[in-house]
Chains A and B, each alone.
Chain A
Amino acid sequence: MKDITVNYYGKLAELIGTNQELVQTTAESIGDFSLFLRQRHPSLCDMTLQIAQNNHIESSEAPLSSKEVDVFPPFSGG
């Protein structure tokens, strides 16, 4: 189990009701972690999102190695 601090942005923070939470996960990769978050928060299930760790946006194959991640959707407003 890893303890991860998750920062949420935009609509994602609104759907979850907070812009930060601490989670415990066994996810090994960024892709696994994305699935874990979608299971934990069904409201995220269909949402487009990207995950960054150590200030770098990762592919889903990348190993989950940081204790803090940023999870954000695309914004469209202008």
Chain B
Amino acid sequence: MARYSRHIDLHEVGPSGQRKITQARVLVVGAGGLGVPVLLYLTAAGVGKIGIVDPDHVEEENLQRQVLYREADLNNNKALVAQKLLKARNSEIDLHAYPQAFQVDNAISLVEAYDVVVDCTDNFQTRYLINDACVKRNKPLVFAAIFKYEGQLSVFNYQDGPTYRCLFPKPPLPGEVPNCEDNGVLGVLPGILGMYQTNEILKIIIGLGKVLSGTLMTVNLLTLDQKQLTFTRDNKEVNHIKNSPLQLTDINDCKLI
């Protein structure tokens, strides 16, 4: 445990807190801009079991912000590359690579095998699916999303707190909100938001501080403004998800105000 002594030295963490980290199981969906810092710090912290879900390959334009990957990793699957590189950093932990998309047919079995789920994806359809699977299996979901120089952070479904659908019940129209591929993003932005996600994950695991449940934190890197906006659980929305079969949210058919 010498490698974790700086955690153990924190009297709020101590040996029992580090033991909780060592026994924790965390599923990271998406090993891109947000997923990379989350994975690096979870690995360093000694989280006992980490699942990495990503069907994509490392591309040259990823290297500007996805700092785990090297030139030699280009064209290789991100989940498999991350598993290999993280294992070299911490051989004591159990790393599972899932080089596949998070989909209706694997969502429940993936979520079930972990204690905390982390949304590091870049599209609404997967974000709604992760949320719904977490609601069905009662797993806390640590969320972040980014746009150019701005980020949003929250924790959903934590101790019966609000869910992603309580914050945004209606998915946007296709193309309404572009992802980094179409829009550009300052490289440090997902790094900063991913670290905030990891902070929430560790707080949940250890039972430290105040978890960002029922609150959306917004961050703007150009002004350095941060805000915390509270929101409430919509039981009708949550019960509907609990009682319906898991399905893809149809982004095309949604009707907006």
Contact = CB atoms under 8 A, between A and B. Distances in A.
Interface of A: 9-11, 31, 34-35, 46-48, 50, 52, 55-57, 60, 70, 72-78
User: Main secondary structure on chain B at its contact with chain A?
Assistant: mixed
Nearest to B34: A78
A73 to B, nearest CB: 6
For the side of the interface on B, what is the size category?
35 or more
Given A11-B147, A56-B229, A72-B218, A77 B185 contact: yes
B180 to A, nearest CB: 5
B151 interface: yes
Given A55-B227, A57-B231, A75 B177 contact: yes
Interface of B: 30, 32-35, 119-124, 127, 144-148, 150-152, 167-168, 170-173, 176-180, 183, 185, 190, 216, 218, 220, 227-231, 256-257
Contacts of A74: 124, 145, 152, 167-168, 172, 177
A77 B229 contact: no
Contacts of A77: 33, 122, 145-147, 178-180, 183, 185, 190
Nearest to B151: A75
A31 B257 CA distance: 9
B124 A76 contact: yes
Nearest to B124: A76
B204 to A, nearest CB: 20
B179 A76 contact: yes
Given A11-B147, A77-B33, A77-B180, 10 more contacts: A35-B257, A74-B145, A75-B151, A76-B122, A76-B145, A76-B178, A76-B179, A77-B146, A77-B185, A78-B35
